[in-house]
């Protein structure tokens, strides 16, 4: 495999879209060619630290990997195991958001409408 062929295949190598023979050829070339290893590292860096937009979350990356693996008929990677604390914390945030929304709705529905009457009452008493 030439350097040009190797560099053309690096994108597919990174995303695991090469067949087994192509992958083996690229790996054989990479063992002998520091220039192509440097190219692969630069490509991986460019892909993984894309300067445009926000980096994908780990969950999004896992979903893409699963979808690609299913599409290609490869072994589907296992679902990431959530840390024990993640679910209660997420539930806590959701519950807090709901409580805040209810409080804001209540304040908007009842708060300002009662103020003028109360102020009128105190104004009359003070005169
Ligand atoms: Zn090379």
CA of residue 9 to ligand 1 center, whole Å: 11
Lookup: tokens for 31: 């063992």
CA of residue 4 to ligand 1 center, whole Å: 7
- Residue 15 and residue 47 in contact, taking contact as beta carbons nearer than 8 Å: no
How many CB atoms within 10 Å of residue 23? 15
Using a CB cutoff of 5 Å, list residues around ligand 1, an ion: 3, 6, 33, 36
Q: How many residues does the chain have?
A: 127
Tell me the chain's radius of gyration from C-alpha atoms.
Answer: 29
pLDDT tens digits, one per residue of 13-70 = 998 899 999 999 999 999 999 999 999 999 988 888 876 666 677 888 888 888 888 8
CA of residue 50 to ligand 1 center, whole Å: 24
* Rounded-to-integer distance, Cα 23 and Cα 12, Å: 9
> Is the whole-model pTM more than 0.75?
no
CA of residue 68 to ligand 1 center, whole Å: 28
Lookup: tokens for 36: 């192509």
- Residue 6 and residue 30 in contact, taking contact as beta carbons nearer than 8 Å: yes
Q: In 19-127, where does DSSP find H-type helix?
A: 20-32, 34-48, 58-72, 86-126
Residue 107 has a pLDDT of: 85
* Rounded-to-integer distance, Cα 69 and Cα 71, Å: 5
Q: What is the mean pLDDT of the chain?
A: 82
CA of residue 49 to ligand 1 center, whole Å: 24
């Amino acid at each position: 495999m030439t350097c040009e062929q190797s560099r053309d295949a690096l994108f597919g190598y990174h995303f695991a879209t090469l067949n087994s023979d192509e992958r083996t050829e690229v790996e054989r070339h990479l063992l002998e060619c520091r220039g192509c290893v440097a190219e692969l590292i630069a490509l991986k860096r460019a892909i993984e630290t894309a300067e445009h937009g926000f980096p994908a979350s780990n969950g999004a990356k896992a979903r893409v990997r699963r979808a690609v693996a299913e599409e290609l008929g490869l072994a589907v990677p296992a679902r990431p195991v959530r840390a024990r604390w993640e679910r209660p914390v997420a539930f806590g945030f959701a519950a807090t958001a709901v409580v805040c929304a209810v409080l804001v709705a209540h304040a908007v529905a009842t708060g300002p409408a009662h103020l003028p009457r109360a102020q009128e009452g105190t104004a009359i008493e003070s005169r």
